[in-house]
């Protein structure tokens, strides 16, 4: 999911609670890819994505109603961009992509988000660039390219081109993050977390209704277990985790919270190995290149 920004300054002291939340979020978000892998045999990609966004949006309705004010409606187009570009469409892209690539590789490619946030900022929001950031972008994209080109060597990955859908999803995340940072600046992070998901849930639920009987997935082999995992993915990994992330930003600042970007792909790879996926040299090299790229992109000059 898109990570909202806030103007809360970085605190000088980070307490134990912040580290607990950071670890929990990294574990939950890094586990999203193995959860989707387990859900897909019972629920096809479009059903998975629409049910995930639909349930998460419905769960966010109380938070949205509590924080919504009349003057916020003028920002509806920007909330819609964050909801559809930053939540709805990427959910579909990730679900489709994971029918052809390993969950560990999907988790690593998701770490491209900070780099595309930088690219979109340069291209559309007048953000200045630095040489170290350009180097970081090149490193990160090289790592992603290595992962994509190596997928044909991985057993069971018959459609490595699907990995490009994940790159597109992270580009959409970059658009969303910049929209929050530039167009929704000063808006409470609780509203930037809830309102976009509520908006995205409308087309998701309509699409789900047109699909026929999505509950039919429960009758497939492993369907009940897959449904339970889908509910967990929707309510915990999407809705509750987003609220926790916003709380972490307020508690410890955005720089500390962004550490999840480094930890999530490691968790995803470990889950993949646990699930029998083969860990190749390409995974490690791609991960290191992307993490080094993130570090350079986030580097601040004095």
| Sequence-ordered list of residues with C-beta below 8 angstroms from that of 48, at least 6 positions apart, any chain | 36, 39, 40, 95, 230
Q: Who wins on pLDDT, 65 or 273?
A: 65
Break the chain into its structural domains and give their ranges.
Answer: 16-297
pLDDT in tens, 54-64: 999 999 999 99
Q: Supply the DSSP symbol for 69.
A: -
Lowest mean pLDDT among 65-69, 75-79, 218-222, 265-269: 218-222
Q: Who wins on pLDDT, 223 or 232?
A: 232
In terms of Cα–Cα distance, which of 21, 88, 69, 85 is closest to 188? 69
Q: Would you place residue 278 in the very low, low, confident or very high pLDDT band (cuts 50, 70, 90)?
A: confident
Max avg pLDDT among 19-23, 63-67, 104-108, 290-294: 63-67
Residues 222-233 as b or e (16 or more Cβ within 10 Å = b): ebeebbebbebb
pLDDT in tens, 30-50: 999 999 999 998 888 999 999
What is the per-residue pLDDT for 302? 36
What is the per-residue pLDDT for 153? 52
Please provide residue 203's backbone torsions phi and psi, each rounded to the nearest 5 degrees. Answer: -65, -30
Q: Would you place residue 7 in the very low, low, confident or very high pLDDT band (cuts 50, 70, 90)?
A: very low
Q: How far apart are CA 171 and CA 268, in angstroms?
A: 20
Report the percent of the chain where pLDDT is more than 70. Answer: 86
Flag whether pLDDT at 8 surpasses 50.
no
- Residues of the chain by 3-state class (helix, strand, coil), percent to 5: 80, 0, 20
Q: Who wins on pLDDT, 149 or 226?
A: 226
Flag whether pLDDT at 109 surpasses 80.
yes
Q: Who wins on pLDDT, 195 or 5?
A: 195
C-alpha dihedral, 80 to 290 to 132 to 161, nearest 10°:
-70
What is the per-residue pLDDT for 6? 40
Flag whether pLDDT at 106 surpasses 70.
yes
**Average per-residue pLDDT for the chain:** 82
CA 70 to chain centre: 29
Flag whether pLDDT at 254 surpasses 60.
yes
What is the per-residue pLDDT for 72? 92
Flag whether pLDDT at 75 surpasses 90.
yes
Q: How far apart are CA 195 and CA 86, in angstroms?
A: 12
pLDDT in tens, 141-151: 787 777 776 65
Please provide residue 187's backbone torsions phi and psi, each rounded to the nearest 5 degrees. Answer: -80, 140
What is the per-residue pLDDT for 296? 79
Report the percent of the chain where pLDDT is more than 90. Answer: 32
What is the per-residue pLDDT for 12? 45
Q: Would you place residue 128 in the very low, low, confident or very high pLDDT band (cuts 50, 70, 90)?
A: confident
What is the value of pTM for the model shown? 0.84
What is the per-residue pLDDT for 5? 41
pLDDT in tens, 264-276: 888 888 888 898 8
| Sequence-ordered list of residues with C-beta below 8 angstroms from that of 96, at least 6 positions apart, any chain | 45, 46, 162, 165
């Amino acid at each position: 999911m898109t990570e909202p920004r806030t103007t809360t300054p970085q605190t000088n002291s980070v307490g134990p609670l912040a580290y607990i939340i950071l670890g929990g979020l990294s574990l939950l978000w890094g586990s999203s890819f193995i959860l989707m892998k387990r859900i897909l045999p019972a629920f096809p990609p479009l059903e998975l994505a629409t049910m995930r966004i639909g349930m998460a949006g419905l769960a966010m309705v109380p938070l949205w109603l509590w924080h919504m004010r009349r003057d916020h409606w003028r920002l509806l187009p920007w909330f819609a961009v964050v909801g559809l570009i930053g939540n709805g469409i990427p959910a579909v892209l990730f679900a489709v992509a994971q029918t052809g690539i390993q969950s560990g590789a999907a988790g690593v490619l998701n770490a491209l988000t900070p780099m595309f946030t930088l690219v979109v900022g340069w291209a559309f929001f007048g953000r200045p660039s630095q040489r170290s950031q350009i180097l970081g972008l090149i490193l990160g994209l090289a790592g992603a390219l290595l992962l994509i080109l190596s997928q044909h060597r991985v057993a069971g990955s018959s459609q490595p081109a699907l990995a490009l859908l994940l790159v597109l999803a992270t580009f959409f995340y970059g658009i969303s993050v910049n929209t929050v940072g530039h167009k929704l600046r000063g808006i409470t992070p609780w509203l930037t977390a809830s309102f976009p998901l509520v908006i995205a849930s409308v087309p998701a639920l309509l699409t789900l209704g047109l699909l026929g009987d999505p509950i039919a997935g429960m009758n497939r082999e492993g369907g009940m277990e897959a449904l339970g995992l889908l509910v967990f993915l929707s309510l915990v990994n999407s809705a509750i985790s987003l609220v926790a992330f916003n709380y972490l930003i307020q508690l410890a600042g955005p720089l500390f919270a962004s550490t999840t970007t480094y930890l999530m792909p490691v968790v995803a790879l470990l889950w993949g190995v646990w699930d029998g996926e083969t860990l190749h040299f390409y995974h490690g090299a791609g991960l290191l290149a992307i993490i080094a790229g993130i570090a350079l992109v986030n580097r601040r000059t004095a």
